[in-house]
């Protein structure tokens, strides 16, 4: 009996997908290319989009004295919306980057450059996801709806940023952390200043983790002319990453202090700041283990940022019960 010569990519799997993911194992065959287009086989992006939303809901609940049923819906609605809008955004990204993706080893197995999904099919799929996300958004207050619609400009611009700036990660940060503003506004219909500081903390965090992620592709990016902070910083990346770490931790701490100090409960403040400390510790652990010339290490550390963000959400949730 001869052994099959099929590789994971010849079966339609994407090179940097999580091994044994549910899409490759369980999803109906006809849906797999579209789910891969939405990165359903790579859930880390959904987490990174969702976590600033959860931070905002929990911190706003702390600031107003408690977690309500409405906050529960916000947490769920943000989770569904993050999954859908991350999928729509990634589909748009793959449509615009299809020629670049075909030239990069890590991305040429994606559904469009590999021929699994046509551009027309991708556009229809993107629209369907965006419409479902909009339906969820309509359950939120007017300011949150307006912010959600406004975020589309950032989503539209981001895939082109790598063509005209060395700082495309800034545009990603602006888009990926917009949910902190939206979720805070959805909590009570207004935007307090800690929400803006929280947004800034998320942007610094994105600069940290996406620079690590971009180090996987520096050689291919240089060949095809794609810009990134990883290419810009080069061997100096650890110094820049340390700066982003400090900025993220300080801004997050300021947001926590601004939201919880008026409550007059020192224990709530200390526990919430414990989440900031755990967040900073995790980022420092990543920095110690970073090897910018090892794509495997960069991908592993990038994915670990789900845990860094969850630590913040966990401490905020515990503080709500004090």
**Could you tell me the pLDDT band of residue 179, with boundaries at 50, 70 and 90?**
very high
Contacts of 236 (CB under 8 A, 6+ apart): none
Q: Give, as one character, the DSSP assignment of residue 263.
A: G
Distance between CA atoms of residues 114 and 7, nearest Å: 14
pLDDT of 22 > 70? The answer is: yes
**pTM of the entire structure?**
0.92
Contacts of 76 (CB under 8 A, 6+ apart): none
pLDDT, residue 10, reads 44
**Could you tell me the pLDDT band of residue 8, with boundaries at 50, 70 and 90?**
very low
Task: With beta carbons less than 8 A apart as the criterion, state whether 185 and 144 touch.
Answer: yes
Q: Give, as one character, the DSSP assignment of residue 42.
A: -
Q: Give, as one character, the DSSP assignment of residue 5.
A: -
Task: With beta carbons less than 8 A apart as the criterion, state whether 157 and 176 touch.
Answer: no
pLDDT, residue 102, reads 84
Angle between helices 295-303 and 266-289 (to 10 degrees): 170
Q: Give one word for 225, left, alpha or beta, with left for phi > 0 and alpha for psi -120 to 50.
A: left
**Could you tell me the pLDDT band of residue 11, with boundaries at 50, 70 and 90?**
low
pLDDT tens-digit readout, 107-132: 888 899 989 999 999 999 999 999 99
Phi, psi (rounded to 5 degrees) for 220 = -65, -40
pLDDT tens-digit readout, 300-318: 999 999 999 999 999 999 9
pLDDT, residue 220, reads 82
pLDDT of 18 > 80? The answer is: no
pLDDT, residue 322, reads 86
Distance between CA atoms of residues 145 and 149, nearest Å: 6
pLDDT, residue 294, reads 96
What is the mean pLDDT of the segment spanning 212-221? 91
Q: Sketch out the chain's domains with CATH numbers.
A: 31-320 (1.10.357.140)
pLDDT, residue 6, reads 38
Phi, psi (rounded to 5 degrees) for 237 = -55, -45
**Could you tell me the pLDDT band of residue 48, with boundaries at 50, 70 and 90?**
very high
pLDDT, residue 106, reads 80
pLDDT, residue 173, reads 97
């Amino acid at each position: 009996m001869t052994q099959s010569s099929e590789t994971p990519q010849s079966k339609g799997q994407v090179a940097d997908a999580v091994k044994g993911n549910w899409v490759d194992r369980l999803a109906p065959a006809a849906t797999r290319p579209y789910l891969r287009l939405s990165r359903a086989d790579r859930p880390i992006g959904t987490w990174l989009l969702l976590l600033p939303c959860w931070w905002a809901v929990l911190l706003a609940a702390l600031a107003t004295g408690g977690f309500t049923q409405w906050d529960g819906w916000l947490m769920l609605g943000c989770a569904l919306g993050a999954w859908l809008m991350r999928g729509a955004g990634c589909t748009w990204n793959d449509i615009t980057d299809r020629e670049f993706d075909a030239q990069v080893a890590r991305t040429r197995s994606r559904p469009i450059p590999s021929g699994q999904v046509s551009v027309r099919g991708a556009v229809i799929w993107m629209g369907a996801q965006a419409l479902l996300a909009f339906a969820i958004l309509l359950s939120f207050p007017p300011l949150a709806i307006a912010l959600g619609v406004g975020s589309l400009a950032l989503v539209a611009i981001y895939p082109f940023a790598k063509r005209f700036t060395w700082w495309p990660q800034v545009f990603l940060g602006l888009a990926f952390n917009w949910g902190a503003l939206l979720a805070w506004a959805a909590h009570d219909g207004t935007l307090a200043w800690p929400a803006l500081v929280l947004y800034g903390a998320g942007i610094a965090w994105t600069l940290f983790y996406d620079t690590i992620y971009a180090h996987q592709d520096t050689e291919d990016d240089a060949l095809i002319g794609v810009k990134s902070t990883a290419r810009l910083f080069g061997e100096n990346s650890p110094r820049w990453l340390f700066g982003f770490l400090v900025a993220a931790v300080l801004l997050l701490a300021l947001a926590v202090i601004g939201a919880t100090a008026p409550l007059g409960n020192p224990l709530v403040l200390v526990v919430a700041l414990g989440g900031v400390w755990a967040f900073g510790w995790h980022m420092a652990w990543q920095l110690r283990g970073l090897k910018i010339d090892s794509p495997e290490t960069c991908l592993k550390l990038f994915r670990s940022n789900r845990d860094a963000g969850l630590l913040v959400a966990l401490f905020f949730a515990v503080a709500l019960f004090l």
